[in-house]
């Protein structure tokens, strides 16, 4: 597919004011003709073509092609993005055009820079913050991220002549997806509904111990045919500021809300939980009705951080030994070894009785997770389920993948200041492997939920 000149200009945001403004923005010299000033459109030396040419969702790949270069011309491609707080993220890679003067990132390997090799989406997943320890997150999913792409001449350490530029907008609210804030009883959440009449298979999405309301994963997942409830459980509005104790009745209200919603397909819902949100999802699946399928991303099989209350039951939190806290050479804290072994006495009281759950489990495991012994916990779950005559869970392990597994193309979140513990925490992972794991895990999550909530066995895979 060859993009039209209009599509190319639209991708660069230079066509909105017509050819006159286009020429002015490019600095075209004014020409005097019969006493009037006109503008002569002047094209840059190279043309950046994006497919799709317009906006697309963050979890979708984009094809980047550069045309109009000299044969075998060395160039540097540069990407930059500012988040809602103004933090700047950058990536760059060196390439060489082919014999026809064209560069296609789906075919040409990067020769160095922020990454090397054939990485069509490398300019996104390799973005690094200008200031250390800043995580790229989407706070307001109603607006896109704007990624500025530039083509520079040469491979030198200093920026060469600018040959071409485009601005690529990436959405977090897929076309037709509706966002509905939820304030029902005690429930504080946002519901995302796909386009169409429905009803749709429902999922409750929980994040970890940072608290607050995170919407970007739920909004993107809704674009794949699910009604997704992004659920806050502390550090948001009138919810508790600290996770001193947790009451499962709150999450039961959220399940009831979903099952009573006319756009949600019953008689049950799925759960998606990351980190602390993962063990909460395990507890929900074990004690609450109406749960069919549960996905855990780097989660523990024991209740963690705060005691869990439900009716007249209390599950204590898994203890820890801060004497085993490790610190990297950079001064980052590693929590991996501080947690007690949940299968040893007396820690077994904190184990979640997941054998009581009615539906299947999928464990997504980053094997370089420096927060939890995620692989160890997943195998504990497998042994416990099989010991009680239940189906073994699906476990997918990703080498060189850290704790924070996001939707595709988010840069690796390797270390940052934790919102609750107020320490710089090291999460692990290697950028290239972590990025590939995020792409595959995103597809695995969709296949799992489509199979167990919707009766489907496959989802469409990315083309790049």
Neighbours of 74 (CB within 10 A): 17
- What is the Cα 343 distance to its own chain's centre? 32
Cα 248 to Cα 330: distance, rounded to the nearest angstrom: 39
Half-sphere exposure of 205 (CA within 13 A, CB side): 25
- In sequence order, the 6+-apart residues with CB closer than 8 A to the CB of 113 are 76, 91, 92, 93, 94
Residues 178, 183, 188, 192: what is their CA dihedral angle, to the nearest 10 degrees? -10
Bond prior to 267 in cis (omega within 30° of 0):
yes
Question: Residues of 90-126 as b/e, b for ≥16 C-beta within 10 angstroms?
Answer: bbbbbbbbeeeebbbbeebebeebbbeeebbbbbbbb
Whether 218 and 230 have beta carbons less than 8 Å apart is answered as yes
Point out which residues pair with 37 in neighbouring strands. Answer: 32
Cβ neighbours of 66 (radius 10 Å): 25
Positions marked active-site: 275, 369, 403
Residue 449 exposure: Cα atoms within 13 Å on the Cβ side = 28
Decide: helix, strand or coil at residue 405: coil
Chain-centroid distance, C-alpha 332: 23
Query: What backbone torsions phi and psi does residue 221 show, to the nearest 5 degrees?
Result: -65, -30
Helix (H) or strand (E) holding 76: strand 74-82
* Cα–Cα distance, 162 to 43 (Å, whole number): 12
What stretches of 199-289 adopt beta strand conformation (E)?
200-206, 227-231, 246-247, 264-274
Number of neighbouring beta carbons within 10 Å of residue 206: 28
Torsion angle, alpha carbons of 7, 9, 11, 15, to 10: -110
Cis before 199? omega within 30:
yes
- Phi, then psi, of 49 in degrees rounded to 5: -115, 130
Tokens 């109009």 sit on residue: 68
């Amino acid at each position: 597919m060859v993009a039209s000149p209009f599509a190319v200009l639209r991708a660069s945001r230079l066509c909105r004011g017509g050819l006159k403004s286009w020429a002015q923005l490019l600095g075209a010299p004014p020409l005097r003709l019969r006493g009037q000033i006109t503008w002569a459109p002047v094209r840059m030396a190279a043309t950046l073509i994006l497919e799709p040419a317009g906006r697309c969702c963050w979890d979708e790949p984009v094809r980047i092609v550069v045309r109009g270069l000299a044969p075998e011309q060395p160039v540097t491609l540069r990407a930059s993005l500012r988040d809602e707080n103004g933090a700047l993220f950058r990536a760059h890679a060196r390439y060489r055009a082919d014999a026809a003067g064209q560069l296609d990132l789906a075919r040409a390997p990067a020769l160095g820079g922020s990454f090397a090799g054939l990485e069509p989406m490398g300019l996104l997943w390799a973005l690094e913050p200008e200031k250390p320890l800043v995580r790229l997150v989407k706070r307001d999913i109603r607006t896109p991220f704007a990624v500025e792409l530039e083509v520079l001449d040469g491979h030198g350490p200093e920026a060469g002549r600018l040959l071409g530029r485009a601005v690529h907008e990436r959405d977090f609210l897929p076309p037709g997806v509706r966002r509905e804030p939820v304030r029902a009883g005690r429930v504080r959440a946002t519901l995302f509904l796909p386009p169409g009449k429905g009803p749709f298979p429902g999922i409750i999405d929980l994040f970890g111990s940072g608290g607050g309301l995170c919407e970007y994963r739920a909004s993107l997942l809704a674009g794949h045919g699910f009604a997704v409830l992004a659920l806050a459980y502390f550090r948001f509005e009138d919810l508790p500021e600290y996770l001193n104790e947790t009451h499962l009745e709150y999450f039961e209200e959220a399940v009831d809300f979903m099952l009573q919603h006319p756009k949600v397909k019953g008689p049950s819902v799925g759960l998606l939980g990351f980190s602390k949100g993962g063990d909460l999802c395990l507890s929900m699946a074990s004690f609450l009705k109406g749960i069919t399928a549960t996905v855990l991303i780097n989660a523990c099989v024991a209740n963690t951080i705060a005691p869990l209350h439900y009716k007249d039951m209390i599950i204590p939190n898994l203890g820890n030994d801060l004497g085993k806290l490790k610190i990297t050479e950079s001064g980052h804290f590693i929590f991996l070894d501080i947690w007690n072994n949940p299968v040893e006495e007396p820690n077994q009281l904190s184990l979640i009785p997941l054998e009581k759950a009615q539906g299947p489990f999928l464990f997504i495991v980053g094997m370089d997770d420096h927060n939890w012994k995620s692989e160890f916990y997943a195998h504990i779950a497998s042994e416990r389920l099989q010991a009680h005559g239940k189906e073994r869970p699906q476990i997918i392990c990703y080498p060189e993948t850290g704790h924070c597994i996001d939707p595709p193309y988010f840069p690796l979140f390797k270390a940052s200041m934790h919102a609750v513990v107020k320490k710089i925490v090291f999460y692990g992972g290697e950028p290239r492997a972590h990025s590939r794991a995020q792409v595959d895990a995103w597809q695995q999550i969709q296949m799992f939920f489509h199979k167990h909530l919707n009766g489907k066995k496959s989802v469409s895979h990315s083309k790049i």
